[in-house]
Amino acid sequence: MYSIKKNIYNSLIILIPTKAFYEMEEQYDFFDRELSWLSFNYRVLQEAMDNELPLYERIKFMAIYSSNLDEFYKVRVASHRSLLELPKKSKDKQKLNPEKVLQNILHEVEMQQEEFYNLFEQVILPQLYENDIVLYQSEVIPEIHKDFVSDYFFREVLPHIQAVLLEKGHIFTFLQDNFLYLSIKLIKKRKKLSTKKVKPKYAIIKIPTNYVPRFLELPNLGNKHYIMFLDDVIRHNLHEIFPGYNIDSSYCMRVSRNADLMIDDEFTGNLAEKIKSSLSRRETGSPTRFLYDKDMPDDFLDVIRNSFKIKKIDLLKGGRYLKFADFFGFPNPLSPKLEIESVHHLYHNELDKSSSLLKIVREKDIALHFPYQSYNYVIRFFNEAAVDDKVEEIKTTQYRVATNSAIVSALISAAQNGKKVTVFVEVQARFDEQSNIKFAKMMKKAGINVLPGIPGIKVHAKTALVIRRGTKDGKKKGYAFISTGNFNEKTAKIYADHGFFTSNEDIISDLEKMFYYLENPKKTVEFEHILVPKFNLRAEFERKIDREIENVKNGLTGYILFKMNSLQDKRMVKKLYQASENNVKIDLIVRGICVLMPNQPYSKNITITRIVDKFLEHARVYVFYNNGKNDTYISSADLMSRNLNRRVEAIVPIYNEKIKKEFIDILEIQLKDNVKARTLDTNLQNIKKRTMLKKNIRAQVDIYNYLKQMLF
């Protein structure tokens, strides 16, 4: 279906569709991947528009929307921009049509940005004011605040200010990725009156948010609380920075840059060292977006564009204030008022009553559901293995590790206690490469066998394996933890994921084979129970879909229920279309990218549900009805081409019927959600579900109550 080609300009790996693939595309329609993702991000923005949510929860969703869009430009837009550099006659360029894709992206983003800033200016700011919180904009501030701001500026801000005049013939400062800049138009002060027109000068200042918080809380006046952007703190003191000039105007701007690491060859050699040496080049990648205040006059913009070689294709209009991801840190002087009520973690009675988690897992499988239940059990699993005298070996994968990770500390303790510890640290985890390299060094220094990166393949599986000698017979027994999310105790508080403890010998045997492959990537292994890309995943999923089709043809029920973050692999989508054409009912819960187009003759039996709520829906669960047997798998793998072709994933079967029902019950609650769930239509619109249910079902609330009732 695909041939792999490497872009000679930045080493981006591009999957080039084959002739057979395009013949398939002519038969079916697919959503554009990028527009599908933008549809998801707009769903995030819809949460910020929800009047039913507390005000600071809505502000948080604005920050999420902005942060998501930043990464989209650094990664996805960057990849299409790189294709523009291919020769015009390039067949690949003609097929992928990056010009059209970028044009469609710009059109959609501009519409969303307009709604975003209207929401902020016309809804959020007035509602803050109604709650006695004043976020200063361009209004005149009282003297008491002027003095406070001036003192703060000289004491905390000025030491970090570097002003640069933009003059022809001079080398201009480099606009760094992810930083805000203030561009200023200056008029030279003159001692004598003159009719001669003074030519303006221009300057820029990097807003030092790496040293000073973006928001400054000012003294209260009466019962009102006052907050000011750092941008405006600087604006109010520009005359101190440029004493010989009158300040004509100032506008915010920022640039996003290509986040590709530009590795010359990721298929050979020491990948970790190549990534380490290329990290510094990320900050100097080519621009993918130049975001600027829409009120900046054209002649002012032209000066900036010419000074920094900004292309028209990079331009995107924003508001007076940019980089809304900083609103994650927006102060709430009334906290906890205006915030969403925190959820108290549910504890697991059986695990709490036992002094040994490993003992319980030896006797039965255990499922956990985060963040509804405490992640401390996972940390306890690693800590117990680290000090248990009979534990001989620990093997695990690490993808995105928490700062000051308790799990890494446990692994180091295990090594220091004489255990054989093997850890595969994926150094290709985007934006976490530096952190992962640091942890890899730390673990290696402690005596842990840290496996190097596998060239051309990313290890995305979230698995841990503990090998222990039996107390009585001395035989070795395996204990495993499989997760749909990262081994990260911090993100486990906000990501909705599943965890699974088991000592099932069939699963343990296959996990041992997977770790053997990670240590010996040139070897071939055979998996009998877990599904692994490159080995058996795609073939087995296709076989199971075909089985559902055959069951329908034989007068039985055919049903598929999948939950994932993204559905992008068109070959897999084609199989789902074929199943729908053969009257297999398919329910998909897809949070993000979804190229499958509903409501077509070939997709009439498929529904797509998208849930965006307080917690990020991050779990992947795959259920094939199989005439009532419900073959159920959990994984960290989405149905993306990269997951199915170029990653090491572990898609693990659930054999325990009680736990299998637990997973399916949770999925069915999500399908019934009529508060936060949306269905996708043929225009990629997020349509609120119409339901015959008389009561509201909000999945994340009802799942919490379901687990609470089940556990107590």
Which of the residues are catalytic?
460
- 239: exposed, middle or buried (Cβ count in 10 Å: 0-12, 13-18, 19+): exposed
DSSP state of 605: T
Cβ contacts of 413 within 8 Å, gap of 6 or more:
383, 386, 387
CB atoms within 10 A of CB 399: 22
**358-392: b (≥16 Cβ within 10 Å) or e:** bebbeeebbbbbbbbbbbbbbbbbbbbbbebeebe
Using a 10 angstrom Cβ sphere, with 0-12 exposed, 13-18 middle and 19 or more buried, the burial of residue 408 is buried
Beta carbons within 10 angstroms of residue 464's beta carbon: 24
Nearest to 676 by CA among 36, 44, 37, 39: 44
Report the distance separating Cα 505 and Cα 517, nearest Å: 18
516-547 burial, b if ≥16 CB within 10 A, otherwise e? ebbeebeeeeebebbbbbebbbbebbeebbeb
Those residues with Cβ within 8 angstroms of residue 193's Cβ, 6 or more apart along the chain or in another chain: none
Q: At what angle do helices 55-72 and 98-119 cross, to 10 degrees?
A: 160
Element (H, E) at 580: helix 570-581
Report the DSSP beta bridge partners of residue 480: 465, 502
Question: Cβ distance 399 to 389 under 8 Å?
Answer: no
Q: How many CB atoms lie within 10 A of CB 686?
A: 16
CA distance 410 to 193: 74
Going 123 to 127 to 129 to 133, the CA torsion angle's sign is negative
Q: Are 60 and 124 in contact (CB under 8 A)?
A: no
- Pairing type for strands 133-135 and 224-229 reads parallel
At 487, phi and psi to the nearest 5? Answer: -80, 75
Sheet holding 133-135, edge to edge: 133-135, 224-229, 215-221
Ranges of beta strands (E only) in 294-390 are: 315-318, 366-370
Cβ partners under 8 Å of residue 705, min gap 6: none
Of 483, 460, 459, 468, nearest to 379 by C-alpha is 483
Q: What gap in Å lies between CA 558 and CA 4, rounded to an integer?
A: 35
